[in-house]
Amino acid sequence: MLYRKLWGAVFAVPLVLVASTAVAQKAYGPGVSDTEIKLGSSAPLSGPASGFSASGKAVAAYFQYVNDKGGINGRKVDFTLLDNAYNPPKAVEATRRLVEDIGVLAEVATVGTVPSAAVQKYLNGAKVPQLFISAGGRRFNDPKNFPWTIPLFPGFETEGAIIAKYVLATKPDAKIALLYQNDDYGKDYMKGFREKLGAKASQIIAEQSYELASPNIDSQILLLKSSGADVLIDQSSPKFAAQAIRRMKEIGWTPLHILGGATSSVEATLKPAGLENSVGLISTYFLKQAADPDQQSDPEVIQFRAFLEKYLPGVEPSEAAALAGYLDGQAIELVLRKCGDNLTRENLIKQASTLKGARVPMLLPGITFGTSPDDYTPFPILRTVRFNGQKWVVFGDPVSAD
C-alpha cells in the first residue's frame, strides 16, 4: 500500500509541473481569450484620400476569410474597421475607441501617413502595437523612440532613393521637377530622392506641393511645365496623380513621369486618368499583379483572385489598394501564428520585428521581409516597373536604396 502511495507521489509532481507549464505557456494581452483575438484598424473610407479605402476593406475581408478557415490557432479574429477620413482628429478618435472602448490587442494595418502619425505617440505611450501600418514615412521606422510602431509599406525615403538611382542611371542630365503632397507622405519621398541624387540635386529646377484639401493641381502642373523640366517626380495620392496625368496630356507636356508606388493603382489612378494617357509611366513595385494575363497560372495569383471573388465581389484584381490590404492581412496572420499561445502585446512586437528573410504570397521574386529588432524596414528592396497601357511591366533587377 505504501509502495503504491510513494509511486503515485513520484508521478504526481511531474504531472503538476507539466500542467503548470502548459498553463504558463498561455499568456494573453487585452482583447485575447481562448476563442478570440480583437484587432482594429482605421482607413480613409471617406474624404479626399478615399482612393486608398480598398486596403482597409481588404484587411477586414481577409480576417473573415481566416475565420472561415477556423481562425488562428483556434481563435477567431474579431476585427473592427473605422473611418479616419485621412483626418488627424478623426484618426485619434478612432484609435481611442479601438483601444479604450473595444479593447483591441493591437491597432493593425491603419491606412495613411497622416492618420498614423497622429496616433503614433498615443499608441506608443500606451504600449499598444501599431502594427503593419500602411504608411511609409521615416518616422515609422524608429525602434528606439517608437518601438511599438512597425510599418508594412515600403519606406517613402527608400523608394525615393531607388528612383533617384534610376534617374541617375538612365537620364544623368535630366532637368527635374518635383510634385508632392505637403505632408510626410510627400516630403519623405522627396528627401530620399534628393539625398541619393547627391551633387546632382542641383538638377532639380522646379518643385510644387499641394494640400490634400485642394480641389485640383492645375496651377502646379502649369508652373512645372514652364520650368522646362524633362523629368517629373510625382508623389501624390490617387486623386491628384490622376489629375496630373490628364492635365499633362491636355497641355502637351511629355516629361518622363515617375509615379510613387503608393499611388500606382490601375483602378484608383490610371483608369480615372485614362490608360492611354498613362503609357510610359515609371514606378516601383514589390507585389505581383493579379490582373497580368501572363501571371494567371501563378498559384498565388489564382488564390488572390479567388479571395476577391468570394470576399470582395466587385473589386477588380488590378486594385492595388486591395492587394496591399491582402498582404497586410497575411503578414498579421503570420505574426499571430508565430505568437502561438503567447498573445501579449510584447510578444506581438517581438515576432513582427524578427521577420527578416520571410515572405508571404504575392510578393515579387527577390522581395522578402526585412524587419529586425533594430531596423523595422519592411521591404529594403523594390522592383522598377513601366506601364504599357494595360499593365505594369517589371524590368531590371531588384534594387535597394544603398
CA torsion sign, 150 to 132 to 153 to 224?
negative
Strand bridging mode 27-28 / 342-343: parallel
Q: Which residues pair with 206 in a beta bridge?
A: 177
Compute the distance between CA of residue 44 and CA of residue 336 in angstroms, rounded to an integer: 25
Confidence band, pLDDT 50/70/90 cuts, at residue 315: very high
Distance between CA 131 and CA 329 in Å, rounded? Answer: 11
Q: What is the pLDDT of residues 227-275, one digit of tens each?
A: 999 999 999 999 999 999 999 999 999 999 999 998 998 988 999 999 9
Sequence spans of domains, the chain = 36-154+295-371, 157-285+385-400
pTM: 0.81
Q: What is the percent of the chain where pLDDT is above 70? A: 94
For residue 296, the model assigns a pLDDT of 93
Percent of residues, the chain, with pLDDT higher than 90: 84
What CA–CA distances, in Å, run from 252 to 68, 206, 219? Answer: 52, 18, 15
Looking at residue 112, its pLDDT comes to 86
Q: What is the pLDDT of residues 363-372, one digit of tens each?
A: 999 899 999 9
pLDDT given for residue 87 in this prediction: 94
Write out pLDDT tens, residues 53-106: 999 999 999 999 999 999 999 999 999 999 999 999 999 999 999 999 999 999
For the segment 332-345, the average pLDDT, to the nearest whole number, is: 97
Q: What is the mean pLDDT of residues 34-46?
A: 96
H/E segment holding residue 118: helix 113-125
Paired residues of 32 in beta bridges = 37
74's grid cell? 483556434
C-alpha cell at 320: 492595388
CA distance linking residue 104 with residue 234, whole number of Å: 37
Q: At what angle do helices 345-352 and 320-339 cross, to 10 degrees?
A: 120
Find out whether 321 and 53 touch, Cβ atoms under 8 Å: yes
Fold of 36-154+295-371: Rossmann fold (3.40.50)
Burial class (CB in 10 A: 0-12, 13-18, 19+), 366: middle
Cell readout for 258 is: 515617375
Instruction: Give the pLDDT band (50/70/90) at residue 306.
Output: very high
Query: How far is Cα 255 from Cα 221, in angstroms, rounded to an integer?
Result: 12
- Is residue 10 pLDDT above 70, yes or no? no
DSSP-assigned beta bridge partners for residue 216 = none
Question: 197: number of CA atoms within 13 Å, CB side?
Answer: 24
Looking at the predicted structure, is the pLDDT value of residue 17 above 70? no
Distance CA 360, CA 334 (A): 8
Grid cell of 102 as nine digits: 473595444
SS3 content of the chain, % helix, strand, coil (to 5): 45, 20, 35
Q: Which helix (H) or strand (E) holds 399?
A: strand 392-400
Distances (CA, A) of 133 to 32, 142, 174, 221: 21, 14, 34, 31
C-alpha cell at 252: 502637351
**Res 138: pLDDT:** 86
Cα-based distances in Å from 119 to 47, 176, 271: 19, 35, 33
Mean pLDDT of 347-372: 95
CA pair distance 40, 97, nearest whole angstrom: 10
Model pLDDT, residue 301: 97
Q: Are the C-beta atoms of 306 and 287 separated by less than 8 Å?
A: no
Query: Span 187-212, mean pLDDT?
Result: 96
Q: Do domains 36-154+295-371 and 157-285+385-400 have the same CATH topology?
A: yes
- Which CATH architecture best describes the domain 157-285+385-400? 3-Layer(aba) Sandwich (3.40)
Q: Is pLDDT of 15 > 50?
A: no
pLDDT for position 262:
87
